[in-house]
A and B are shown apart, each in its own frame.
Chain A
Amino acid sequence: MKRTFAIVLLAILGAVGAPAAGGPAASNARETLATHRLSLLDGKTTTLAAHRGDVLVVNFWASWCAPCRHELPLLDQWNSDWAGRGARVIAISIDNDARKAKRFMDDMELSLTVVHDGPNGLARSLDIPTVPYTLLLDREGNVIDTVRGSAEAEVTALGRKVETMIAARGAKPVQEAGMAGGSR
């Protein structure tokens, strides 16, 4: 009887206490990222696939997230530096209300591309492990690096990696045709 009791107790604890398994299979992530429709703050929609051919830094952020607010000016600076060089930053707001994202962008006078997707869009599909969460996508849309949180060293390293990719592309102009020459 004691044994039955112990088994029942363990089963209940296991069932109730087990955290939900997170995230889709990695193989689905590329497709999900590419095709998910994102709302621009002016009401239009876009997809990350529309930017294929550029190196993309995709940053999940929210106006209620203090580290995100700290990090976004740097990403905005990167976006300006990389303009016309084949790399860009896309900031995906996971605020419930797009107006909060818009207000924040206006207050901070940021110029990078911001899309609103809410907490139940890509963030949930990918089950992002932190906010902020930053992905580095190569020119073909493959996720080649991620940064959890806003640790300065990791974010800076990501920026350097993009610079390297830009430089590598610049060094091989002959291979640019067909978008197959994306360096990693």
Chain B
Amino acid sequence: MKRSRWLWVLGLTQLLMGCATVRPYEKENLADPIMTISSDEALRELKWLEAREGSTGGAGGAGGGCGCK
């Protein structure tokens, strides 16, 4: 019983450790349109494609994550 209680505390602590106070001037990334739930699906797809391929821009053209243009 006691052990489970302490495990609860440990779990709760772990959960709360993920909380952070974001100051108003730190919200640039949070204000990005990609963060909205209703953001354009094509934009979302492009975002994860860029992340996966390691390249940014050049949508619809050549480019493949090698760092070259």
Contact = CB atoms under 8 A, between A and B. Distances in A.
Interface of A: 1, 5, 8-9, 12-13, 16-17, 19-20, 22, 60, 62, 64-65, 94-96, 119, 123-124, 127-131, 133
A133 B17 CA distance: 30
A94 B28 CA distance: 9
Contact of A131 (B13, B16, B25): B25
Contacts of A19: 21
B29 to A, nearest CB: 9
Interface residues of B, number: 18
B24 interface: yes
A22 B27 CA distance: 16
Given A12-B13, A64-B32, A128 B19 contact: no
Q: Is the interface of B mostly helix, strand, loop or mixed?
A: helix
A12 B12 contact: yes
Interface in B16-56: 16-17, 19, 21, 23-28, 31-32
Contacts of B7: none
Interface of B: 2, 5-6, 9, 12-13, 16-17, 19, 21, 23-28, 31-32
A130 B27 CA distance: 11
Contacts of B13: 12, 16
Given A12-B13, A16-B17, A60 B28 contact: no
B28 A96 contact: yes
Contacts of B9: 5, 8-9, 12
A51 to B, nearest CB: 22
